[in-house]
Structures are given as C-alpha cells and as structure tokens.
Structure 1
Amino acid sequence: MGVLTPRPRTRTSGTRALQRAFGVLAVTGVCLTTAPPAVATAAPAAPAAPTRLAADDNPSFGLSSSSECDFGGDVIKATPWSLQRVLLDQLREQATGKGVTVAVIDTGVDDSNPQLRGAMAPGGKNYVGKGDGTEDIEGHGTRVAGIIAAREMPGTGFAGIAPKAKILSLRYTGGEEKQGDSGTMSAAINDAVAKGADVINISSDTANKKDNATLRNTVANAVKAGALIVAASGNDGANGKSANTYPASYPGVLAVAASDRNDERAFFSQAGDFVDVAAPGVGMVSTVPKSGQCTADGTSFAAPYVAGVAALLKEKHPGWSAAQITTRIQESAQRPGREANRYLGWGVVDPVAALSDDSEPGTRPQPDPPVAQGAGEVIPMEVTMGETKAEQERRVAMYVVGAGLLLVLVASGSGVAVRDWRNKRARQSG
C-alpha cells in the first residue's frame, strides 16, 4: 500500500486518510495509534535539513480514536482505569519524576495543552520542519507526552505517571511537506543522547517490520552511551504470530507490549521473544493538541506508561544504570509465569512494586526459582477408620484410673468383710 501525505487537520477523524500500518486492526474497527516510520537502507537524511527520500522510506503514520475527538475539546473528569489500578498516593510518595527529562521522539508535542505547558524541557527540535518540536498536526506525540508527564489539573482524574518530569520533544515525523524516515529518527536519537535525556520514548516501529543498518547502529551507540530507550512493540499482533519490530527488538531497548483491563495481552499487541514487559494500552486517556483529552488504543500508549515509571525510578535512584532500571521494571512486574513469554514479556508493569523495592537490582531479570518437589503442597490429614492415637491414649488412661478405683473399692470391701468375720467368730467362741 502506498504512502499518503498528511494534510492539516484539527480532528482525529480526519487522520484516517493516513491509516496503513495496522490495516488488519482497522478492518475490525479497533482504533490503534502506533506511528510506524517506514525504513529502507537509503542513507539517512542530514539532521538539520532532512532530504525527501524514496516513497518506501517515508513513514505511513496511522492515528485514530475510539471516539470522535476534537483537538481543543473537553477533559475527561473520571480517573482512567490505567491509573485506578495504581495506588497513586503511595506512588507519589516515592517519586514524581522531578529533575528527570524524557525525550519523546514522535510527531511533536503541542505544549498549548494546559496539562503540558509547564512540562516542556528546552532544546526541542523539529526534524521535518522548523521550530522546537512543539507543533503536532497528528496529535500522536501529544498523547504520548501526556501519559508520561501531564500535570495534575482540577476537573480531571487524568495525570501523567511522572507528573513533574520534563518532556524533550524531538519531532522526527508528522510534517505537512516532509515526512520522517530512518534518518530523522536516528538523528533524533543522537540528539536526545547528546542533550542528556534520562529516558527516550519511541512509540513507533518501522513499516513492514524492516531492520535498518542506520537505525540499528544508532540505537547500539545510544545504548552503549547509557541511554534508557523505551519502545512500543507494535500493533500487528492480531494473528498471534511472533515477529520482530524495530527499534523495539534491538538489544538494550525496553520493548513494551499492550495489556488490557484484565492484565492480559491486548489482542492487537505484537508478540515476539523480544517483548520485555507489558503495560496498559487499551482505552488510554491522554492530552491532545490545544486542550482537552481523548481516548485511544495502542502499544504507542503502553510504552510511555513504562517510560513514566522509568522516570520515577531515575529520580529515586539517580545512580542506577539504564540496565538496572529496566531490570527492576521487569522483575517487579506481575509475572505470567516463572519467566518471560512472547506476549507479555516478564509481565504487566507494577509501578508501586517497582518503586517500593530499594534493593539494588542486577542488569538483567532472573526467572523465579523452580518449586522444589513437595514444597508448597498441602499435606492432607491422615485418614483412619478407627480411633486415633490420642483417643487410644485417653481410653487407656481411663481404664487405668477405673482399675485403680476398683482395686481401692475391693481392698476397702475386703477389709470390712474380714473385720465382720472376726467379730462373728469372737461372739461364737465366747
């Protein structure tokens, strides 16, 4: 399917002209919002002014909502289910993300939304146009940023997981005239590392799940430099088959699948051995351009949930490495079994559990130890057809006591009988 160039719009319903990457899910009526940048082996575009490459290297970006959504609309008053499952007061006592910067490599972040006005870090950049990355035509990056660091606001129960973290917006795609590619994504990753971002969130994957040498090398260098990269696993998992997606499956990247309200894999979430952990990705409330909030589904919104938890851990444990933080997230997750599986990885992230354990983690998660034979088994009571040993002992004791009393009575009675016999003989002889 060819690539469609986006047009300016203010409603998410208008973005349906861009849907392509997750067509199988669109057919079923499910609304998914991961933004896949198409990748080829062409040379990357220059970071300052990326060139327009061949059509198959341009991203085909899909964005829709589970309901008609006005940019600049109203907020949702209720607390989203993805936050209801967390003891927020207890979590906020541990950390809020203060002093931590999360780079959002996406379609831009519109900081005119009231919940994001105070969340932006300086140094943002637009790789497909001019400006500092705070223009977002599609609304995708604004949603991602909100899940990470939307400020608390009266009138709504929604806020970011790390509501005091800063967002560094690096707009690598979503332009009106120029579309991003492997070059702009790679340039944005390099920029995030150079500017000292503590966490890097990438809520997109490559079109057709194609590996790319430029992107692969960029990610490898970022990981080597100590970057903590969180990436969405992708939304092509409706068939349940495993498939690698990029950059999520590159070594050192924390790959996030989507879970539903039952802590099970969202049916669209891409499965694969590369999946590290899962997080809520269904009916996700977040900020949209201008003002207001809307809901949407996708691993795009599971990844920033985890990026927010990583920001909290970075604030609480600034000396921990990226590998240690990702290990703590994986080891504290609600595990589906002793070890990881290809659907949920090590399990569904548990923010409070991740923050509550202050022990220093290793650099890779470990499976739970096997249960020893007989350990933890219920030992049934012994079934007897007669009396128990205790009952037998009580019965014997009663016999002994009874026999003793009988002997006393016999002895007493014998003494009386002997005395009467002697008195009788004495009278007869006298």
Structure 2
Amino acid sequence: MKKYILTIVVALGLTASISAQDSYYYCSGDKVLLTEHSTKVVAMAPKGNSFSLPLSKGLILTDTISDSNSLITVYELSSTVTPSRVKALVPTSTSVNLQSCYNTEDGTELIPDGYINVKLKTASDSSKLQAVASQYNCEIVEQNEFMPLWYSLRVPNTSSINPVEVANAIYETGNFESSFPSFSMDALEISYDPDVYKQWGLYNSQYEGYDINISKAWNYATGRGIKIAIVDEGIELTHKDLAANVSPLSYDAVTNSSPSKVYGDHATHCAGIAAAVRNNGLQIAGVAPDAKLMSVSINFDSSNFMKETSNALMWAWKNGADVISCSWTCPRNDLIMEAIDSAVTKGREGKGCVLVKSAGNTSGSITFPGNYKPSVLAVANMTVDGSLRYSSCYGSNMFITAPGTNILSTIRYNAIDYKSGTSMAAPHVAGVAALILERNPKLSATKVRQIMGKTAQKIGSYPYDTTKTYGTWNERYGYGLVDAYNAVINTPRY
C-alpha cells in the first residue's frame, strides 16, 4: 500500500481544555467530518522504540510508516477485539500514543501521524504558537521555508493526546489562521501526467515495493533549487516535457561552445528519468520534477572522447552542478580521474558534487569510471520483479541499485520511449540525490551518499553478508534498492 504524509491545508485556534467531540478537522473554517474506523487502531511510538502490540491478542499488523521521529504501526482488529480492549494492552510506562484510524465521507482511510500544521495570522503571533505548543506539550518541529507563516507541531508520544482533537482545539481559539492534523493515506495519484503509471520505477503496481518509493518523498522534496548535470549526448532542450526544467546554462564539449548539441536520444532519455516536469498533463514525471537540468553534451563516437568528457565534467562543476549523472564508459585514464576528483572535492563550493555512474551492462566487472573510487556512485540495474538484470555489472565499488529495465522516458522530437540498462538506473539515483540536497543543500556529497546507503531497501537473492561504511552490502546490489522516501525523511534539516 503506497502511503505518504498528506498535509490537508486547513484552519487553526485553541481551547483551554479538550472535551469529547465528534470526529472532524477544519478546512477553510468548515468542518470536514470523519468516522472513526471501528476495526483499526494506530500506535505511534518514538523512532527506535521496540514496543509492538501482541499479535496473538486478535490483532493483525497491516502497515508500518516511519519518519525521522516516529514509528507508526496500524493494526486490524478481529471480531473479538474492540479498540478499548486494545488500550489495555499498552503499559502506562510505555511512550506509545494509541489513536483511532479514520475514514472520510468518500471512504478514504486517514491515519494520524502525530503532526499538526498551524498557520499564524501574522508573523508576530509566534508567541501565541509557543504558548499553545507548551499547553499541549507539543514540539514545534519546523517553520515552513516557502510559506513562513506555517509551522509543523508534533504531539508527544503519550496515550492521552489526540492530534486531531488538539488541532481542532488550536483552531477554535480563533488565534490562528489555520490548524489541521497531518495524515498518512493511500495516494495512488502520484502525478497528473498521463503516462506516469507506465513508469514502474516510480510506482510498481505489478510487484509491490520494488520501486524507488517516490510518492511519499514528493511531500518533502521535489528537487527545487538543485541542478543536475546530464553529461551525455546532449538533451533536446526544447522537449515539451523537459523544457520548463532545462537550465539556460549548457555546454558542448566537442566544440567547446554553448549551447549544447544533440548527438542521439540517450541524454534526453536520462534527463527525463531524473527531472521530467511533473503534473503538466504531459507524458511522464521525473524523480526530481522541480530540479534544473544542465545539458553537457559529449559525442560517444568522438575520436577525442576522453579529453572532451573530462572537459565536460570540469565545466559541469565549475558552472554550479550539484549532481552529475554519467551513463557511459571509456578506458581508465588520468584526465577523467582528475576531472572526477575535482568535481567531488571542489564542486558546490567545496562540499562536492554527487557523481552518479552507471555500473555497466557487460555482465562483468563495473566499468570505468564506476569502479574508480567510492566517491563515484556505481548503480546496478533492477528489473520490475526486484531481480538484477542479467547484464548488470558488479564489483567492490557497487553502491546502490535502481530500476533500469524497460524504463519509459523522454526521447528526441517531443516523444517518449522505453530503454533498458544501467544507463537508466543511474539518473533515478541522481534524482534522489537532488531530493536530499533540496532538503538540506548544506550537506557534503559524502553525507548524501551516506543517507542513500543507509536508507536503501535490502532486496534480491544475494546475501548482504559484508559490512561496509553504510551498513550491510553485496557486490551485486550494493547497499540495496534506493529508497527516496526513507532518504528524504532521514535527511537532517539545516
């Protein structure tokens, strides 16, 4: 079941005490009615808490949702168990907040996640927010970067605090413009782009769980403000599903001039995977649909490929690329190694560019420069059922796995088509790197790699029997399947 944190923008005010009330939340001053789910309960606990309700008591664990603060578990009740009986199973000494699950009038299931969204009437009302947070022992988690009158609060992990009732009480004080509880919910409508459901790497309806878990991640980051350089055959700059995200800065390493040129479909396909425009009603969606695409063109047939490609890498980081996506190979050489070293150490004002590289499609060792050093993120090719593509390369520098087989994306002449290979896996990872950097642009490239490695999903038939810097690992899948949602919610804010 795909779930993501839904911030349903509503309204806010507060009462001195919370009394029993019908279930609802406020939206634009109106009550949106809710029905408590009679056969489900929600347990919210601090992250790392080992408490779980005893399944032998007529409970079935149906869902687990987590972020950097909380672990939320949802239980289905058998016919012999009532919610009141479940409360008796929670020791008073345990920091667990047991809540109801709700349904809207149209049947949508809403799971409270412990957060409350509050909008001030004016910036000077921050003292009122602090007072009400203190009254209900809530933590003020953050101020919205883009809408600074909005704040996120989190209720304590105690069984007596109901986030829905607290949100209503805050609104009913009349001191705030809006206050509403945050919910997790089923969110299959990940995009309004007509072909998005053919992008199994974003949402895999055939094999649940074998995708990059993007729909929930988009509630936290979309790549806004981050630049992804596609060092490849050149992006079609006017493509209808890319143009709005294309940076005005581009470069052709073959002629040492701008703008970039197009030498084939490959770069445009990689660009769409990384950052095609989302919700424009056209074609597909990219992993980081608000990131900027920098087209840095090279010619795979050039007689001076190594010099031109090293120049392309240098141009990318010197012109502000945050992430560099490379889906090509060549013989090991000092020019490209020096350019990579410069990008990953000097790029982003010394924080380093995140450099992503396709692992290769020869069924053997990772191809250069994916095998150069750990600062180059080599990416393996996963198929729709979670297995490794037979041709995907492997080795000691394998970092992570991403969807790479039968991937739908943009190609030249405003079209879309399917392609396969680690070339398609790499830009999925480049897009996730952009999401992480939007959440915290102050992170070093090393920290971005750490977040992706530690939050990857363990998949596949090969055992993760080696412990490396960021956890268990194997040479086929690296640290596992890249997980966009787990990566962004575990990104420390600045």
1:184 aligns to 2:308 (yes or no): yes
2:115 corresponds to which residue? none
CA shift for structure 1 position 86: 4.8
- Aligned amino acid, residue 275 of structure 1: M
Of the three residues 462, 467, 473, the one matched with 1:340 is 473
Contact 1:127–1:180 under 8 Å retained in 2: no
CA distance in 1, matches of 2:429, 2:314: 21
Of the three residues 285, 296, 301, the one matched with 1:159 is 285
Contact 1:77–1:156 under 8 Å retained in 2: no
Between structures 1 and 2, the one with greater strand share = 2
CA shift for structure 1 position 262: 2.1
CA shift for structure 1 position 137: 3.4
CA shift for structure 1 position 358: 3.5
Q: Deviations over 1:169-197 (max 9, x none)?
A: 1102157xx55511011001111111121
1:223 corresponds to which residue? 344
Identify which range, 227-236 or 124-133, moves more after superposition.
124-133
1:245 aligns to 2:378 (yes or no): no
CA distance in 2, matches of 1:247, 1:145: 20
CA shift for structure 1 position 216: 1.4
What pairs with 1:21-420 in structure 2 (closer than 5 Å)? 76=195, 78-84=197-203, 85-129=211-255, 132-153=258-279, 155=281, 158-174=284-300, 178-206=302-330, 210-225=331-346, 226-237=352-363, 241=364, 243-251=365-373, 252-336=375-459, 337=464, 339-359=472-492
DSSP 3-state at the match of 1:214: helix
Give me the CA root mean square deviation: 2.3
Q: CA distance change for structure 1 residues 158 and 220 in 2, over 3 Å: closer, same or farther?
A: same
Q: CA distance change for structure 1 residues 216 and 77 in 2, over 3 Å: closer, same or farther?
A: closer
CA distance in 1, matches of 2:401, 2:358: 10
- Aligned amino acid, residue 332 of structure 2: D
Greater length-normalized contact order (CA 8 Å, ≥ 6 residues apart): 1
CA distance in 1, matches of 2:290, 2:369: 27
CA shift for structure 1 position 244: 3.9
Larger radius of gyration: 1
Q: CA distance change for structure 1 residues 155 and 221 in 2, over 3 Å: closer, same or farther?
A: closer
CA shift for structure 1 position 135: 3.3
Contact 1:172–1:188 under 8 Å retained in 2: yes
DSSP 3-state at the match of 1:163: coil
Contact 1:90–1:352 under 8 Å retained in 2: yes
CA distance in 1, matches of 2:445, 2:403: 22
Gaps of 5+ in 2: 1-193, 204-210, 347-351, 466-471
Q: CA distance change for structure 1 residues 266 and 180 in 2, over 3 Å: closer, same or farther?
A: farther
CA distance in 2, matches of 1:268, 1:194: 34
CA distance in 2, matches of 1:89, 1:215: 36
DSSP 3-state at the match of 1:276: strand
Q: CA distance change for structure 1 residues 144 and 184 in 2, over 3 Å: closer, same or farther?
A: same
CA distance in 2, matches of 1:116, 1:170: 15
Q: Which runs of 4+ in 1 moved over 4 A?
A: 153-157
Contact 1:132–1:169 under 8 Å retained in 2: no
CA distance in 1, matches of 2:426, 2:196: 24
CA distance in 1, matches of 2:334, 2:238: 37
CA shift for structure 1 position 222: 2.0
Gaps of 5+ in 1: 1-74, 361-430
- Aligned amino acid, residue 204 of structure 1: W
Contact 1:77–1:155 under 8 Å retained in 2: no
- Aligned amino acid, residue 486 of structure 2: A
Q: Deviations over 1:223-272 (max 9, x none)?
A: 221121111111101xxx4x242111122111111111122211111111
CA distance in 1, matches of 2:229, 2:304: 17
CA shift for structure 1 position 142: 0.3
CA shift for structure 1 position 150: 0.4
CA distance in 2, matches of 1:282, 1:154: 25
- Aligned amino acid, residue 399 of structure 2: D
- Aligned amino acid, residue 308 of structure 2: T
TM-score of the two chains, using structure 2 as the length reference: 0.53
TM-score of the two chains, using structure 1 as the length reference: 0.61
Identical amino acids, percent of aligned pairs: 30
CA distance in 2, matches of 1:133, 1:179: 21
Between structures 1 and 2, the one with greater helix share = 1
